[in-house]
Amino acid sequence: MALALVSAIGVLAFGWPLFAPGDSGITTHAADAPWLFAALLPLLLAVVVATIADTGLDAKAIAMLGVLAAAGAALRPLGAGTAGIEPMFFLMVLSGRVLGPGFGFVLGAVSMFASALLTGGVGPWMPFQMLAMGWVAMGAGLLPGAARLRGRAESLLLAGYGAVASVAYGTAMNLQGWTLMQGMASGISYVPGDPLDENLARFVAYCLATSLGWDLPRAVVTMVLTLTLGGAILRALRRATRRAAFEAPVVFEDG
């Protein structure tokens, strides 16, 4: 329920301009970002609390989450977004697969928040980046076969998902920024109040003209890193989870 609530708020935050009337003052959309960020933080905490209550994860798991978030934040500046080279995506996918959708969502959001502080990328786009990256990691935790799929088959599944999620992330962020960039060429510019199908056609043209050259390399980098390093990292994450004994009960034996 916590994940559904935060995701519903995210969908509304990204998509409401497409349904807004022409006199809605769409250019003030960026001013809503601080309110979205304020609403996002307690919802993230609710997701963590719900995950702990449902699965019994303890302080060791939260410490692991912090380490992975720091690693993801450190990976982001390596490519600095140049030509879509963003190595943090593959780590978010692999971590979401092992930690599950709840912690995966929080990991993606916290990693993006930490990386924004690290790179100076704090702005009205940041809460939207947190939501989009949270969805990327959460989706990996929702993929089928988590208990039985291992080896090359799992790497192929995650590589394919990572490629699709990388493009979907770029598309979602395009939707957030496109509505604020009015006055471009008439074929790709957002027009408040226009029918949904016409604005969607312009949005597709906008994505093809502006961001596809970043989204596709991001997808390729994520696929390559997942196929080459994914198996080893998945084993390391699962080994760390087992050794931390996240759900292991304390049993006392009679001496």
Query: How much is the average pLDDT of 114-118?
Result: 81
Q: Say whether pLDDT at 28 is over 80.
A: no
Instruction: Report the b/e string of 28-39 with b at 16+ CB within 10 A.
Output: ebeeebeebeee
Domain that holds residue 54: 2-16+33-244
Between 165 and 209, name the one with better pLDDT: 165
Which amino acid is located at 246 in the chain? Answer: F
Per the structure, the count of domains in the chain is: 1
Q: Could you tell me the pLDDT band of residue 213, with boundaries at 50, 70 and 90?
A: confident
The pLDDT value recorded for residue 158 is: 94
Query: How much is the average pLDDT of 124-137?
Result: 85
Provide the angle, in degrees to the nearest 10, between the axes of the packed helices 2-15 and 33-55: 160
Question: Is 255 a domain residue?
Answer: no
Question: Is 21 a domain residue?
Answer: no
Q: What is the mean pLDDT of the chain?
A: 78
Whole-angstrom distance, CA of residue 105 vs CA of residue 131: 8
Between 110 and 84, name the one with better pLDDT: 110
The pLDDT value recorded for residue 35 is: 64
User: Which CATH number do you get for residue 72?
Assistant: 1.10.1760
Instruction: Let me know: does 192 contact 26? Beta carbons within 8 Å.
Output: yes
Q: Could you tell me the pLDDT band of residue 103, with boundaries at 50, 70 and 90?
A: confident
Question: Is 216 a domain residue?
Answer: yes
Percent of the chain with pLDDT over 70: 74
Query: How much is the average pLDDT of 157-186?
Result: 83
Question: Is 226 a domain residue?
Answer: yes
Using CA atoms, how far residue 95 sits from 11, 48, 240, in Å, is: 23, 15, 12
Question: Is 254 a domain residue?
Answer: no
Instruction: Let me know: does 154 contact 146? Beta carbons within 8 Å.
Output: no
Q: Which of 39-43, 168-172, 211-215 has the lowest mean pLDDT?
A: 39-43
Q: Could you tell me the pLDDT band of residue 168, with boundaries at 50, 70 and 90?
A: very high
The pLDDT value recorded for residue 202 is: 86
The pLDDT value recorded for residue 165 is: 93
Q: Say whether pLDDT at 113 is over 70.
A: yes
Query: How much is the average pLDDT of 145-155?
Result: 83
Q: Say whether pLDDT at 26 is over 80.
A: no
Q: Could you tell me the pLDDT band of residue 58, with boundaries at 50, 70 and 90?
A: low
Query: How much is the average pLDDT of 43-59?
Result: 65
Maximum mean pLDDT: which of 8-22, 32-46, 130-144, 169-183: 130-144
Question: Is 22 a domain residue?
Answer: no
The pLDDT value recorded for residue 64 is: 79
Tokens representing residue 143 in the block: 């993929």
